[in-house]
Structure 1
Amino acid sequence: MEYLLECYLDSFKHEPRNSLHDRRNRRNMVDYINVLIQGCAGVDSTDTQKPCEEAITTLIQYHNKFKSENGRVCMMGKYHNILYVAMKLCYLWQLQNSDLVCQLLKEIYACEQTFERILIGALFGTKAPHYIAGWKSDFENQEENIRGLVYFLDKANLGKLQLPFVSGDTTKQFRFVDLPIESCGKASPLKVCLQLGLPDKLLILLRFGAIAMEDENDFSNFEHIMNRLMEFNHCYPYNLVSCLQLLLKVVPSLQLKLSEAEPNKLTRDILVEKYGDLIEDGLIPLNRCGYIPPELKHLSRCAIRFELWKNFNIPNGIRQLPLPETMWRYLDLLEN
């Protein structure tokens, strides 16, 4: 497999620098390598994992070879786009080697400092990347892009992937699911979902451990969605209500930041003052805003999910717990 692919890539180096900028050319390369993988697996064999691993490894090494020759600076041309050929192959063959998939993601991130080409098509649709960033998605449609996102979220968690993101003078480690999107004002994928009112995508991100609050005093995401809901005068859009309900599933209760002028004021008083309509209409349950304690099963869900999150074992670890199906679904945010 490695020899055949190297022979093919040897002829590829004579192509123009922008030869893989066109999505059709990337697809043609994917189709060619697919044939090689299937052929190396054997006519009657279903074990395609090994030849797929060899193909991905060869493509990564090919990229790194030319990057090294340029002083470890990626020219973002055909040798970089070959990583997206590898990305599509990982998804199509559902490569199970999490470490290799994470190595590929690291190589992409080292050059781009973002995963926009995986994220934007899933959140906005596969036509959006062309207008936002000038390139076309490697996925056929938004549904496939979402399935691809789920695949890479899963492999990033299994590989315990964390990557540095520089903001000003500080560098912070982020998980794949929380990495800011450059072309969206460096907002996290979760925040983009809230801004657009996308509960279906928000659910995916939360299931894979997206952080709703950066620290115990950060309720900006909740305040954003609640402020938007207050604009509708009791006629609330379903998508925004769903977003708020999902956020409320992943925190024990609302504890808004107290004003320095009124340090003794209770959270529930602030909520009634600012979001009384939402409490009155049942969008913020009484057991989430301090009037009565949260139910024990909800507190247990938050505690269990946090322990699984610390070990990069969410959502996969949920079904390893000795619990009935209904409890698995409850912990995985799929049931109320």
Structure 2
Amino acid sequence: MNVTQEAGKECDSQVIVREAIIGILRYHEDARSKNGGVCLMGKYHDVLYIAIRLCYDWQLKDSQTIASLLDEIYSCENTFERILLGALFGTRAPHYLAGWKSDFENQEDNVRAMVYYLDHATNANLEYKHGPNQELIRYIDIPIESCGKLTSLKIAVQLGLPDKLYILLRFGALVTTENDDEPVVVWLLDKLTEYTGCYPYNFVSCLQLLCRVVPNICPKSDVDQQLVRQIMFEKYNDLINHGIMPLNRCGVVPSELKHLSRCTIRNILWKNFELPNAIRKLPIPERLHKYLDLLED
């Protein structure tokens, strides 16, 4: 088979899968319309997850069709936990947490699917109205209902999963939100203080990653520097002395210009739904690509 035939075959499969997804969406919408606009759930809703699996298995490239599928799921569930839980907890956890089986074969498959849908959600600029104030929240930051309405990022930090946290941060997951009862950074710092002198590698790695995406992780950013120093040395003196908490990332001393530039550039890319793919398009040296993509510090 020559290159032209292979390209034609791929094109045909893309068209067929796209038409199948559109048909599934039409079926779901018809069933909901016949029930007064309320989703019947059960098999009438689970068909959407057949579509989720089809898109992933055939690597559908049409972001708008995938966005329509995600929109349909959110309109019924108000969450995307069924796509995300398997990547965070493994294939068995969704059954115990939410009562349904993972739609993917193993955790690696779940993680790949999470990345696949994060990528397409970013390409489609997906945002959803959520919460009592109906504020717009991006796909990546929609809370997971069965986990105390925590975001995927907070779950990854609390479970000590730096590999999953890195994926979420690459795509611009928010470290702090206005509705936080306790900032995830504060939770992590307090957690690390429990392990004086013998800090778990996974939690330290999570802290290092979080330090790369914000100008500083000082729990109190609205107070003067003298008070910041007092707070940090009183609460986290051991972390500072043991080199776990860098002074230039917690507000005690100013952050380096290179790091502040990274935060600014990433924030601009985030606002334009360009994280992480646009990093490689920037006309800068490869080492700075890695720096912006959180691979180096």
Question: 1:206 aligns to what?
Answer: 169
- Aligned counterparts of 2:221 and 2:265: Cα–Cα separation in 1: 28
Offset from partner CA, 1:35-79 (integer Å, 9 cap, x none): xxxxxx999723221111111111111111111111111110212
Structure 1 residues without counterparts, runs of 5 or longer: 1-40
Which residue number in structure 2 is paired with residue 45 of structure 1? Answer: 9
The aligned counterpart of 1:181 is 144
Q: Which amino acid aligns with 1:266?
A: L
Partner of 1:293: 254
Name the SS of the counterpart of 1:68 in structure 2: helix
Number of residue pairs the alignment of both structures matches: 291
Letter in 1 for 2:263: C
Task: Verify the 8 A CA contact 2:225 2:252 in the aligned structure 1.
Answer: no
Mapped contact 2:90–2:107 kept (Cα < 8 A) = yes
Question: Could you give the per-residue CA deviations for residues 8-50 of structure 1, whole angstroms, max 9, x where no partner exists?
Answer: xxxxxxxxxxxxxxxxxxxxxxxxxxxxxxxxx9997232211
TM-score, normalised relative to structure 1: 0.82
Partner secondary structure for residue 206 of structure 1: helix
Taking only aligned residues, the RMSD between alpha carbons, in angstroms, comes to 2.1
In the aligned structure 1, how far is the partner of 2:105 from the partner of 2:31? Answer: 29
The equivalences for 1:130-279 within 5 A come to: 130-166=95-131, 169-214=132-177, 220-257=183-220, 265-279=226-240
Are 2:87 and 2:107, in contact at CA under 8 Å, matched by a contact in 1? yes
Q: Distance in 1 between matches of 2:6 and 2:111?
A: 31
Q: Does 1:328 align with 2:293?
A: no
Tell me the equivalent position of 2:21.
Answer: 56
Once the two structures are TM-superposed, the CA of residue 281 in structure 1 deviates from its matched residue by 0.8
Cα deviation per residue 1:202-222 (whole Å; 9 max; x = unaligned)? Answer: 11110110001225x997111
Structure 1 position 172, deviation (Å): 1.9
SS at 1:163 equivalent: strand
Query: In 1, Cα distance between the equivalents of 2:225 and 2:209?
Result: 29
1:85 to 50, 54, 58: 50
SS at match of 1:82: helix
User: How far is 1:292 from its partner?
Assistant: 3.1
Change (3 A) 1:296 1:89: same
The Cα shift of 1:263 comes to 7.2
- Counterpart of 2:60, as a letter, is L
- For the residues of structure 2 that align with 1:118 and 1:331, how far apart are their CA atoms? 27
Cα deviation for residue 193 of structure 1 reads 1.0
Mark the CA change 1:196 to 1:269 in structure 2 (over 3 Å): closer, same or farther. same
Please report how far the alpha carbon of residue 240 of structure 1 lies from its aligned counterpart in structure 2 after TM superposition: 0.6
**Whole-Å separation in 1 of the counterparts to 2:7 and 2:111:** 31
Residue 316 of structure 1 corresponds to 277
For the residues of structure 1 that align with 2:47 and 2:219, how far apart are their CA atoms?
Answer: 47
- Amino acid of the residue matched to residue 208 of structure 1? F
**Cα shift at 1:327:** 1.2
- Structure 2 stretches of 5 or more lacking a match? none
User: In structure 2, do the counterparts of structure 1 residues 210 and 264 end up closer, same or farther at CA, with 3 Å as the change threshold?
Assistant: closer
Does residue 118 (structure 1) correspond to residue 83 (structure 2)? The answer is: yes
Query: What secondary structure is seen at the aligned counterpart in 2 of 1:244?
Result: helix
**In structure 2, what is the Cα distance between the partners aligned to 1:123 and 1:232?**
24
Task: Classify 1:312/1:120 alpha carbon distance in 2 versus 1 (closer, same or farther; 3 Å).
Answer: same
One-letter amino acid matched to 1:46: E
Supply the distance in 1 between the matched residues of 2:212 and 2:6 (Cα, whole angstroms). Answer: 48
> How far apart in 2 are the matches of 1:193 and 1:308?
23
Q: 1:307 to 1:272 in 2, by over 3 A?
A: same
- Matches of 1:49 and 1:88 in 2, distance apart? 14
Distance between the aligned counterparts of 1:188 and 1:66, measured in 2?
31
For the residues of structure 1 that align with 2:206 and 2:66, how far apart are their CA atoms? 31
TM-score, reference length from structure 2: 0.93
Change in Cα spacing, 1:326 to 1:218, as seen in structure 2 (3 Å) is farther
* CA apart distance, 1:152: 0.3
Q: Alignment identity in percent?
A: 55
The reply to whether residue 69 of structure 1 matches residue 30 of structure 2 is no
